[in-house]
């Protein structure tokens, strides 16, 4: 059996693990156009605060050797030919496959902005780009940076730049940071912390034009304001990278369409990670959920299936940790702001006095989301409850306690999980 | 035959099982854990000077109490989520967390369904049960005065 994996990141590593659980012999080839090896994408912004590059390594050479995987770095796959069962590389060579995984990730979304071709405009979704941005800062003595977008990446970049003493201006179309990814109270807390360290925010505004000769000199906002800055970082989100899939006419919606075995519309071609359209188990809608844990898990499920062990994906769940914010941990999962009055909301807001905030969102006696700020120990129990769609009616007011634990769950739950070791992948499916 | 197949699937993994009926919420397990993972190996110093956290958590609700620690899951969600590569599984299935590789992103905290991996906010790394690596027997089991913890092969 010959496996080919396009991409060398979270989903790829999950897939390697999945394949090797079943098939110790088959040939595995990983192909990536990036040159840096298997680094951790969520950590690339940390180089702004001088994290040494070797700390970015997610899986080193030893991992690939132990798993007996051949890796082609700096090699782009330009086409998939499902008839011939091969992928065509930019070197002109073709690699044949029996099972193929597409894990081409996501691409930064860059809207058309007048002047965006100028030097000093960057996105922040690949290590090489992050390094280029850092170099530009050093070389040009950059003192002021405009960040467009206040999503996770935008805020993270803004935060690190500020820690390095740079003046940062964040431009956001909405009236709050983190948009739908965090609830209003959470956003307020995060915004306050970021303002306190000196980050400037411009809400309900957007960039109209980037001004300057060859290089960025200033930015004109829709409101008419002019901000002097030598650099612009565009961080308004990512879109699934489906280019390669489209060369084989694989079905693509808002991302590559897969079934729960992570198979695409073409036999023997699987897809996982940021390039696919995921399914959100809290509202059963399909959406893009470009998140590391989900990419890894999908890769793992794809790998198992590719190697012949049938396994259905549990479904996706939006979940985030605002990992850069040293001051206060901010964790959330699922639905964070109730979309209508059929949802029940429980809040335990002691942020001002005790430094923590917890909120639970419940629908039809099932937990569908939570926010935890300040005190975050053990909140994974809540994530598990969402995943399992447990009936929380008998203990729901406990969900927002910082001491919430397994002791509040039904005894038979504990028996099954702990005494009978029901901790396999399938053990976390909702009970019908 | 069926029995045999099931046995074959069992992992050769020994871990700690809490028996809630026996637990008297004395928290000796927490203290023992903190101590063996300390520099000083002294319970008072470990707690007061070393800024350590216990890896088991004794939960209490009315008359019920239970000590919860990492289950070394068959499917460790913490491993899926770990962005730094700090979490790994050995050939027996035990789940390890390299504290010096960890970057303190708390992704593992967010997904562990047992709440068994703990964020150390000051030290900016997570920590969890390591089955007392390097010691021949888990300290929590040894310390429990009421046999509410047993060290046993996975079921
Ligand atoms: C700055 C930043 C911070 C983030 N922080 C977090 C966080 O805190 N938590 C979280 O959950 N997620 C975070 N993410 C998102 C997370 O990084 C992604 O969800 C995850 O990396 C997705 O993994 P993936 O394997 O699907 O794809 P990617 O990591 O995007 O990797 C895609 C791979 O495909 C390769 N590739 C693409 N096209 C081709 C081709 N044609 N030929 C060959 N190779 C190709 C690329 O070289 C790359 O190796 C962050 C992302 C960024 C950019
Ligand atoms: S830390 Fe949690 S998810 Fe990871 S193996 Fe232990 S119990 Fe399972
Ligand atoms: S906190 Fe550490 S161990 Fe946990 S996911 Fe992040 S890097 Fe991995």
Are B13-70+133-154 and B74-128 the same fold in CATH? yes
Ligand nearest to the CA of B104: 3
Long-range CB contacts (< 8 A, 24+ apart) of B130-139? B130/B55, B130/B96, B130/B97, B131/B14, B131/B15, B131/B16, B131/B72, B131/B94, B132/B36, B133/B96, B135/B36, B138/B16, B139/B32, B139/B33, B139/B35, B139/B36
Spatial contact of A122 and A234, defined as CB atoms under 8 Å apart: yes
List pLDDT tens digits, range B139-155.
999 999 999 999 999 98
**Domains detected in chain A:** 2-106+238-307 (3.50.50.60), 121-234 (3.50.50.60), 329-419 (3.30.390.30)
- Helix or strand holding residue A401 (H, E): none
Q: What is the pLDDT along chain A (432 residues), one digit of tens a residue?
A: 999 999 999 999 999 999 999 999 999 999 999 999 999 999 999 999 999 999 999 999 999 999 999 999 999 999 999 999 999 999 999 999 999 999 999 999 999 999 999 999 999 999 999 999 999 999 999 999 999 999 999 999 999 999 999 999 999 999 999 998 999 999 999 999 999 999 999 999 999 999 999 999 999 999 999 999 999 999 999 999 999 999 999 999 999 999 999 999 999 999 999 999 999 999 999 999 999 999 999 999 999 999 999 999 999 999 999 999 999 999 999 999 999 999 999 999 999 999 999 999 999 999 999 999 999 999 999 999 999 999 999 999 999 999 999 999 999 999 999 999 999 999 999 987
Give the pLDDT score at B48.
82
Answer whether B113 touches A (CB < 8 Å).
Answer: yes
According to the model, what pLDDT value does residue B8 have?
59
Task: Choose the residue to mutate in A8, A71, A292, A318 for probing ligand 1, maximizing ligand atoms within 8 Å of C-beta.
Answer: A292
Note the ipTM here: 0.96
- A316 inside 8 A of chain B by CB: no
C-alpha B87 to ligand 2 mean position (Å): 10
CATH topology for B13-70+133-154 is Alpha-Beta Plaits (3.30.70)
Stretches in chain B below the pLDDT threshold 50: 1-4
User: What is the A416 CA–ligand 1 centroid distance (Å)?
Assistant: 36
Kindly determine whether residue A418 and residue B74, on different chains, have CB atoms separated by under 8 Å. Answer: no
pTM of the predicted model as reported, rounded to 2 decimal places: 0.97
User: Which of A384, A407, A420, A422 should one mutate to test binding to chain B, selecting the residue with the greatest count of B CBs within 10 A?
Assistant: A407
Query: Cβ B111–A319 below 8 Å, yes or no?
Result: yes
Is the minimum CB–CB distance between A54 and chain B shorter than 8 Å? no
CATH number for region B74-128 = 3.30.70.20
Give the separation between CA A177 and CA A155, rounded to whole angstroms. 8
Token pair for A188: 């307020």
From the CA of A85, how far away is ligand 2's center (Å)?
39
Q: Which residue's C-alpha comes closest to atom 6 of ligand 3?
A: B105
Chain A with chain B: Cβ pairs closer than 8 A = 137
Q: Domain ranges in chain B?
A: 13-70+133-154, 74-128
- CB distance from A98 to chain B under 8 Å? no
3-state secondary structure chain B: CHHHHHHHHCCCCEEEEECHHHCCCCCHHHHHHHHHCCCCCCHHHHHHHCCCCCCCEEEEECCEEEEECCCCCCCCHHHHHCCCCCEEECCCCCEEECCCCCCCCCHHHHHCCCCCCEEECCCCEEECCCCCCCCCCCHHHHHCCCCCEEEEECC
Q: Which residues of A touch B63 (CB under 8 A)?
A: none
């Amino acid at each position: 059996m010959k496996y080919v994996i396009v991409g060398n990141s979270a989903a790829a590593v999950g897939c390697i693990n999945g394949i090797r659980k079943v098939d110790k012999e088959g040939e595995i080839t990983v192909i990536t156009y990036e040159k840096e090896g298997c680094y951790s994408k969520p950590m690339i912004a940390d180089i702004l605060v001088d994290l040494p590059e070797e700390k970015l390594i997610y899986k080193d050479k030893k991992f690939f050797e132990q798993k007996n995987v051949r890796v082609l770095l700096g090699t782009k796959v330009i086409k998939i030919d499902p008839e011939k069962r091969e992928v065509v590389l930019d070197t002109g060579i073709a690699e044949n496959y029996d099972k193929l995984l597409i894990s081409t990730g996501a691409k930064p979304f860059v809207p058309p902005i007048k002047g965006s071709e100028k030097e000093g405009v960057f996105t922040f979704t690949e290590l090489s780009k992050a390094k280029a941005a850092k170099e530009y800062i050093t070389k040009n003595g950059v003192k002021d940076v405009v960040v467009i977008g206040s999503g996770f990446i935008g805020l993270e970049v803004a935060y690190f730049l500020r820690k390095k003493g740079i003046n940062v201006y964040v431009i956001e179309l909405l009236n709050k940071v983190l948009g739908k990814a965090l609830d209003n109270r959470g956003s307020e807390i995060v915004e306050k912390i970021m303002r306190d360290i000196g980050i400037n925010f411009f809400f309900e505004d957007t960039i109209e034009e980037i001004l300057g000769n060859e290089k960025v000199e200033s930015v004109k906002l829709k409101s008419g304001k002019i901000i002097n800055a030598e650099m612009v970082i565009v961080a308004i989100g990512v879109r699934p990278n489906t280019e390669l899939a489209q060369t084989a006419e694989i079905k693509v919606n808002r991302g590559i369409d897969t079934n729960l075995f992570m198979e695409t519309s073409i036999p023997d071609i699987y897809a996982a990670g940021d390039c696919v359209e995921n399914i959100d188990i809290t509202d059963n809608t399909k959406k893009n959920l470009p998140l590391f844990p989900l990419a890894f898990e999908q890769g793992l499920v794809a790998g198992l299936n590719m190697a012949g062990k049938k396994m259905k994906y549990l479904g996706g769940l939006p979940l985030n940790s605002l990992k850069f914010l040293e001051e206060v941990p901010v964790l959330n999962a699922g639905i964070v702001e109730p979309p209508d009055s059929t949802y029940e909301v429980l809040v335990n807001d002691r942020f001002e006095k005790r430094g923590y905030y917890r909120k639970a969102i419940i629908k039809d006696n099932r937990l569908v989301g939570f926010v935890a700020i300040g005190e975050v120990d053990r909140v994974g129990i809540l994530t598990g409850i969402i995943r399992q769609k447990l009936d929380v009616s008998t203990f729901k007011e406990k969900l927002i306690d910082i001491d919430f634990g397994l002791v509040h769950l039904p005894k038979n739950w504990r028996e099954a999980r702990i005494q009978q070791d029901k901790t396999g992948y399938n053990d976390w499916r909702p009970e019908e | 035959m069926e029995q045999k197949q099931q046995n074959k699937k069992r992992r050769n993994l020994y871990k700690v099982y809490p028996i809630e009926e026996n637990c008297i919420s004395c928290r000796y397990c927490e203290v023992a854990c903190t101590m063996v993972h300390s520099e000083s190996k002294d319970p008072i110093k470990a707690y007061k000077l070393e800024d350590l956290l216990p890896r088991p958590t004794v939960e209490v609700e009315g008359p019920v109490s239970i000590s919860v620690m990492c289950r070394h899951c068959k499917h460790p969600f913490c491993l899926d989520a770990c962005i730094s590569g700090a979490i790994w599984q050995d050939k027996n299935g035990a789940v390890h967390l390299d504290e010096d590789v960890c970057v303190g992103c708390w992704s593992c905290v967010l997904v562990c369904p047992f709440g068994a991996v703990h964020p150390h906010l000051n030290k900016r790394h997570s920590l969890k049960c390591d089955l007392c690596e390097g010691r021949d027997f888990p300290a929590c089991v040894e310390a429990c005065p009421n046999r509410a913890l047993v060290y046993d092969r996975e079921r």
